[in-house]
Amino acid sequence: MNYLSTLFPAYAEMFLVIMVSIVLVVDVSLPKHTRTLTYLLVQLSLLGCSLITVATHTMGAAHLFNNMFVDDLMSDVLKLLTYLSVSMMLVYSRSYLMARGLFTGEFLALVLFSTLGMMVMISASNFVTLYIGLEILALSLYAMVALQRDSAVATESAMKYFILGAMASGFLLYGMSMIYGATGSLDIHTIATSIATGTAHVNLLVFGLAFLVAGLAFKLGAVPFHMWVPDVYHGAPTAMTMFIGTAPKLAAFAFVMRILVEGMQPMMVHWAGMLMVLAVLSMAVGNITAIAQTNLKRMFAYSTIAHMGFMLVGILSGTLEGYGSAMFYAIVYVLMSLGGFAMIMLLSREGFEADNLNDFKGLNQRSPWLAFMMMLLMFSMAGVPPTVGFYAKFSVLNAAVQAGHLPLVIMAVLFSLIGAFYYLRIVKLMYFDAPESHEKIYIQPDSSLLISINGLAVLGLGILPGALMNVCAASVQQSLLLP
C-alpha cells in the first residue's frame, strides 16, 4: 500500500490502462449492432481520468520512476484539456461513425490508447518516456486512419502516414542518440544541466539538435515536413481527421516544450533559428496553398500547417510570455478545429460527405444557427476580433515583438491577411449564395448543444481571455521554473 501511495502522479494513466482492458472485454460480449455501453464506458473513463488528475494535483512537481515521469501544473492542465477534446470528438462523431459502420469497439479502444500515449508524452521527463508516449499515440493513429478497410483512399492515407511517421521517429531517435552521446544522459533535467555547465560536447549537441527539430517538425506538420498532413486529413474519415487534428496537438506542444525549452534551453541560440525558418515557411505555404483548395478537409489541413507556424512564433520568442501565449494558441486552435470538423460531420449524412466548399452554400437559409456557429469559428481562425483567434494571434505576435523579432511579426501579419481570404470565403458562401440542396438538417440533441457551446466559447474566450491566459502563463512558469 505504501508503494502504491508513491505512484499517485501516475494514477490517471494506470486507471486508463485498466479501463481500456475493461472496454475491450465488455465490447467482445456486446451485440455488434450496438456500442452504446462501450461508448458510455469510454466517456466515463475520460471523466474518471479528469477526476483523478484533479485529485492528485500537488503544488510543484512530483517525479516518478527515477525522474522519467513528472506531474506538474502544465501537465495537469494539458491532460484535462486533452480529456475534454477527446470527449467532445466522441460526441460529435458518434452519429457520423454509426452511419458508416465505423462506430466499433476497435475505434473506441484506439481512442483510449491514443489518449494514453498523449498523457505519457505530456508528463514525460526523459527522452525514453517521450518516445514511448509518442509511439503509443502514433501506432494508434495509424490503425485509426486505416480502420475503414474497404476504402482505398483511407488505406493509402494510412500507408503514407505510417511511412512518413516512421521516418520522423527515426529522425527523433537519431537526434536523441546524439544528445545522449554529447551529455551522457537521457534525463531532460540532466541534459539541461550538462549543457548549462559546459560539460557537453557542443558540436555533437548541435548535430543531434538538428535531427530533433526535424522530427518535431514532422509531428507538428510544419513545412517542409508537412507532406503527410493534407493527404491524411483528406483520406481519413472525418471523425479520425478531427481526432488527429485536435488533441494530439496539445501533446505535441508539450513534446516541444519538454525537449527544446526544458531540456535544451541553453541551446536556444541554435534551435530558435531553425524554428524561425519552420514558422515562416509554414505560415507561407499553409496560407497560400489553402486558397486553392476546394475540399474543406484539405483546406483545414493547410490551415493547420499555418497555425502551427504561429504557435512556433510564440515558442521561439524565448520568454515566459511567449511560451504562455504558445500554449494558449495551441488550446484555442484545438477548440476551433473541433468546431470546424464537427460542422462537416453534422452536415454529412449516410452516403454523403459535406466536405466540399459548395456543400456550405446557402447554409444560412437551411439552418441560421449552424451558419452563425460556423461564422464564429471561421472568424476566429482568421483572427477577426472579438473572437478568441484574434487574441491568440495578438498575444503570440506581441511576445515576438517584445523579443525583438519584428521582421518575423510583419511577415506573420501579412500571411494572416492572406489566410483570412479562404476563411471569409466560407462565410460568403453560407450567407450570400443559394443552397445546392434544401434537404433538412437533422442533428442529435447532444451534438447540437455541444456545437452551440463550442461556437459561443470561441466568442466568449475572445471577450474574456484573461483567465485562460493566466492559467497558461502560470502553468509554464511553474513547470519550467521560469523567472
pTM of whole model > 0.85? yes
Domain ranges for the chain: 15-480
- Residue 249, judged by CB atoms within 10 A of its CB (0-12, 13-18, 19+), counts as buried
pLDDT at residue 300, rounded to an integer: 92
Dist CA 214 CA 466 (whole Å)? 34
Q: Is 404 helix (H, G, I), strand (E, B) or coil?
A: coil
39-50: burial string, b at 16+ Cβ within 10 Å, e else: bebbbebbebbb
Q: pLDDT tens digits, residue range 42-66?
A: 999 999 999 999 988 877 777 788 8
pLDDT at residue 483, rounded to an integer: 46
Q: pLDDT tens digits, residue range 159-187?
A: 888 888 888 889 899 999 999 988 888 88
Task: Give the number of other Cβ atoms within 10 Å of residue 335's Cβ.
Answer: 26
pLDDT at residue 365, rounded to an integer: 87
- Name 334's Cβ contacts closer than 8 Å, sequence gap at least 6: 81, 85, 246, 247, 249, 250
Dist CA 236 CA 219 (whole Å)? 17
Residue 468 Cα distances to 76, 92, 193, 324, angstroms: 14, 24, 31, 10
Query: What is the mean pLDDT of the segment spanning 6-31?
Result: 85
pLDDT score of 2 more than 70: no
Residue type for position 179:
I
pLDDT at residue 306, rounded to an integer: 92
pLDDT at residue 5, rounded to an integer: 59
Helix (H) or strand (E) holding 393: helix 388-402
Query: What is the mean pLDDT of the segment spanning 327-343?
Result: 93
Angle, CA 89 vertex, CA 87 and CA 93 arms, to 5°: 125
pLDDT score of 3 more than 70: no
Q: Give the confidence band of 380 by pLDDT, cuts at 50, 70, 90.
A: very high
Query: What is the mean pLDDT of the segment spanning 13-20?
Result: 91
pLDDT at residue 299, rounded to an integer: 92
The widest CA-to-CA distance across the chain, in whole angstroms, is 70
Residue type for position 397:
L
Q: Give the confidence band of 32 by pLDDT, cuts at 50, 70, 90.
A: low
pLDDT score of 1 more than 60: no
- What does the mean pLDDT of the chain come to? 88
Q: Is 187 helix (H, G, I), strand (E, B) or coil?
A: strand
Dist CA 207 CA 222 (whole Å)? 20
Query: What is the mean pLDDT of the segment spanning 6-14?
Result: 82
Dist CA 380 CA 372 (whole Å)? 12
Q: Give the confidence band of 122 by pLDDT, cuts at 50, 70, 90.
A: very high
pLDDT score of 280 more than 60: yes
Check: CB of residue 443 under 8 Å from CB of residue 93.
no
pLDDT at residue 356, rounded to an integer: 85
Q: Is 69 helix (H, G, I), strand (E, B) or coil?
A: strand
pLDDT: which is higher, 198 or 458 = 458
pLDDT at residue 396, rounded to an integer: 93
Residue 69's DSSP bridge partners are 64, 124
pLDDT at residue 77, rounded to an integer: 92
pLDDT at residue 361, rounded to an integer: 87
pLDDT score of 222 more than 90: no
Any idea what DSSP says for residue 352? Answer: B
Q: pLDDT tens digits, residue range 341-356?
A: 999 998 887 777 778 8
Alpha helices in 100-246 (DSSP H): 105-123, 127-145, 152-183, 188-196, 202-220, 228-235, 238-244
pLDDT at residue 183, rounded to an integer: 87
Query: What is the mean pLDDT of the segment spanning 411-435?
Result: 90
pLDDT at residue 317, rounded to an integer: 86
